[in-house]
Structure 1
Amino acid sequence: MLKTFPKGGIHPAENKITSSKEIKRMPIPKVVYVPIAQHIGIPSEIIVDRKDKVEIGQVVAKSSGFVSSNIHSPVAGTVTKLDMIVDTSGYKKQCIVIRTDQKNESNFEEPNFPLKKEISMDQKDILKHITDSGIVGLGGATFPSHVKLDLKNDNHVDCLIINGVECEPYLTADHRLMLEKADEIIVGIQILMHALHIQEAVIGIENNKKDAIKALKKAAQSDKRIKVAALQVKYPQGSEKQLIKAIIKREVPKGGLPMDVGIIVHNVGTIFAIYQAVQYDRPLIERVVTVTGKKIENASNFWVKIGTPIKDLVNEVGGIPEGTRKIVNGGPMMGKAIKNTDVPVTKGTSGILVISEDEASRGEPKNCIRCGECVDVCPMGLEPHLLMNLTEKGIYETAANEDIMTCIECGSCSYVCPSHRPLLDYIRFGKSIVKKLNTAKN
């Protein structure tokens, strides 16, 4: 029987349109827009100025705290300005604008790196390379990876879990990466096991990716410490807490972290970035992005330089189809609509989803009928209808007591609500207010 988490969950239409599309390389943009806040934590500190010449991989914004991350130039070119631009959050953020130096275009091609299996670095050097390379969680959370790996004496970790679930509908970036870079991913896992001094790693992959399961089992066959776990197809299986529960039956405590139960979780994209950083000294300057939608002409997966305008990706797949209602950064469940396609790809951009008018239309919200469906599907055991009502009425202290901050914003409640109530929208807003209140108290 396939493993899964025990509480809640749904199975939306998968729509993995691009699962058979090999990863292609996006053309180098003429201009890149590189935000300095591409991670959870403190924004990076800009260390270049207007008219500066920069090289590929050069640090242009330096980590300004422990929970922060370096930002590197994805191209060789000239800094034209330091500006405030709207990013994928919808808010203006500080950004480094770099005009590509076309005479160096040949340098932008991905080198054909041979597989490098030998791990020559010790724990300290591995952690330094990961820190210096600006690697963050590429599954969407963008948590600086070096923070997870900087273990204190009282944190005993005995298992590494690799998240290859990609349960969000439409997205296939991780799926393709596992198929095309399986050997490198296994070496990346071995690098972390060496750095963490642990002897067990499990790669969790949903059973709708049988080819990826087969590829990684084959790549890992010579290392008995690394297992591949086939998981039942159920959303939101890719959430850390649900994945840990599904694979090894440990429960992360409320308000806790995976390392509290001896686990570290990394996304497969993050693992590949770690492989490149440690084995080839390559910083995080590009990532795989799925560009998709039911009416997109040439939906595909791309290697994309960080800072590339999203309009370049949309143009590459045939442009915006007539009747488009929304363009979403991410998948349909947890992604957020963007205002326009001028915003840049960031480290956290896993997909661009183009949604038509008929797909995006919401039913008219009606009164709650107390059916309890939102409660049944909540993977965190919350009462979404109650949390929405409390937020709507401004009763934030009670919402906090009802564990609103435990919500992982998976959107399962909104998906099943027969009254079309915007549960997730209100809960997200309620969480933002409760967070501000908690900060003020402290």
Structure 2
Amino acid sequence: MLKTFPKGGIHPTENKITATKAINRLPVPKVVYVPIAQHIGIPSEIIVDRKDSVEIGQVIAKSGGYVSSNIHSPVAGTVTKLDMMVDSSGYKTQCIVIRTDQKNEANFQEPEFPLKREITMGQKEILQHITDSGIVGLGGATFPSHVKLDLKNDNKVDCLIINGVECEPYLTADHRLMLERADEIVVGIQILMHALHIHEAVIGIENNKKDAIKVLKKAAAIDKRIKVAALRVKYPQGSEKQLIKSILKREVPKGGLPMDVGVIVHNVGTVFAIYQAVQHDRPLIERVVTVTGKRLEKPSNFWVKIGTPIKDLVEAVGGIPEGTRKVVNGGPMMGKALKSTDVPVTKGTSGILVISEEEASRQESKPCIRCSNCVFVCPMGLEPQLLMNLSEKGFYEKARAEDILTCIECGSCSYVCPSHRPLLDYIRFGKSIVKKLETAKN
């Protein structure tokens, strides 16, 4: 019987339109816009100036603290601006604007690095390489990877879980990466196991990706310590706490972290980036992005340089079709609509979804009928309708007491509500206020 998490969850229509589309390389743009805040934590500190020439992979913004990350130039070119620009969140953030040189044309047909299996670095050297290379979680959270790996003496971790679930509808970036780079991912796992002194690793993949399960089982056969777990399809299984519960039946305590139950979780994209950093001295300057939608002319998966304007990706798949209502950064469940396609791709951009008028239109919100559907599907065991009411009425202290900060914003509650109430919208708003209140107190 296939494993899954026991509490809550839903089964949205998958719409994995690009699952069979190989990853192509997007041409290098004429200008890139590189935000200095592409990770959870303190924004990076700019170390270049206007008119400076930069090379591919050069550090252009240094980590601003322990929970922070280096930013590297994704292209060779000239810094033209250091300016405040709107990013995918809709807010202005500091950006480094680089005009690319002609020599980037050769980079479009970039040769593949040969597979390198031998691991020659020690634990401290691996950690330093990951830190220097600006690796963050590529599953969407963008948590600096070196912080996860810097274990304290009292943290006893016995299992590494690799997240290949990609349960968000439409997105296939991780799926294609597993199919096309399985050997590199396995070496990346071995690098992490070597650095952490862990002797067990499990790759979690939902059973709707049978081809990826097969390919990774074959690639992992070289190391008996690495297993592949086929999981029953259920959203939001890609969330860390749900994935740990599915595979190991361990429950992360409220307010706790995976390492509290002896586990570290990394996304497959992050593992591949770690492989490139350690084995080929390649910083995080590009990532796989799915560009998809039912009406797109040619939905695709691309290798994309960080800082590439999203409008370039949309143009590469045939442009925005007539009748489009929204362009979403991410998937339909947890993604957020963009105000403009002029914003850049960042380390956390896993997909761009173009949604039609019919798909995006919301039905009229009606009074709650007390059906409890939102409670049944909440994977965190919360009462979404109560949290919405408290946020709507401004009872933020009560919302905090009812564990609003425990919400993972998966959107399952809104998906099943027969009254079409904007549950997640209000909960997100309430969470933001509660966080601000807690920050003010501290």
TM range (shorter): over 0.9
2:387 partner amino acid: L
- Aligned equivalents of 2:304, 2:10: Cα separation in 1: 31
User: How far did 1:440 drift?
Assistant: 1.3
- Hey, what does 1:314 align to over in structure 2? 314
Task: Map 1:41-440 to 2 at 5 A.
Answer: 41-440=41-440
User: How far did 1:105 drift?
Assistant: 2.3
User: How far did 1:107 drift?
Assistant: 3.8
2:328 partner amino acid: V
- Hey, what does 1:21 align to over in structure 2? 21
Residue identity over aligned pairs, in percent, reads: 87
- Aligned equivalents of 1:155, 1:349: Cα separation in 2: 31
Question: Which whole-Å deviations, capped at 9, do the CAs of 1:309-330 have from their partners, x for residues lacking one?
Answer: 0000000000000000000000
Contact (CA 8 Å) 1:44, 1:70: kept in 2 or not? yes
Contact (CA 8 Å) 1:414, 1:422: kept in 2 or not? yes
Question: Which whole-Å deviations, capped at 9, do the CAs of 1:215-245 have from their partners, x for residues lacking one?
Answer: 0000011211000000000000000000000
Question: Which whole-Å deviations, capped at 9, do the CAs of 1:335-360 have from their partners, x for residues lacking one?
Answer: 00000100000000000000000000
Contact (CA 8 Å) 1:75, 1:108: kept in 2 or not? no
Contact (CA 8 Å) 1:161, 1:264: kept in 2 or not? yes
- Aligned equivalents of 2:108, 2:85: Cα separation in 1: 25
Could you list the structure 1 runs, at least 4 aligned residues long, displaced by more than 6 angstroms after superposition: none
- How many corresponding residue pairs? 442
SS of alignment partner, residue 203 of structure 1:
strand
- Aligned equivalents of 1:134, 1:431: Cα separation in 2: 28
1:434 partner amino acid: V
User: How far did 1:428 drift?
Assistant: 0.3
SS of alignment partner, residue 298 of structure 2:
coil
Contact (CA 8 Å) 1:306, 1:345: kept in 2 or not? yes
SS of alignment partner, residue 183 of structure 1:
helix
User: How far did 1:104 drift?
Assistant: 4.1
- Aligned equivalents of 1:101, 1:109: Cα separation in 2: 15
- Aligned equivalents of 2:436, 2:316: Cα separation in 1: 41
SS of alignment partner, residue 81 of structure 1:
strand
User: How far did 1:108 drift?
Assistant: 4.8
1:95 partner amino acid: C
Unaligned runs of 5+ in 2: none
Task: Give the alignment's TM-score, normalised by structure 1.
Answer: 0.99
- Aligned equivalents of 1:300, 1:381: Cα separation in 2: 36
User: How far did 1:114 drift?
Assistant: 1.1
105-114 or 221-230, which moves further after superposition? 105-114
- Aligned equivalents of 1:242, 1:58: Cα separation in 2: 37
SS of alignment partner, residue 290 of structure 2:
strand
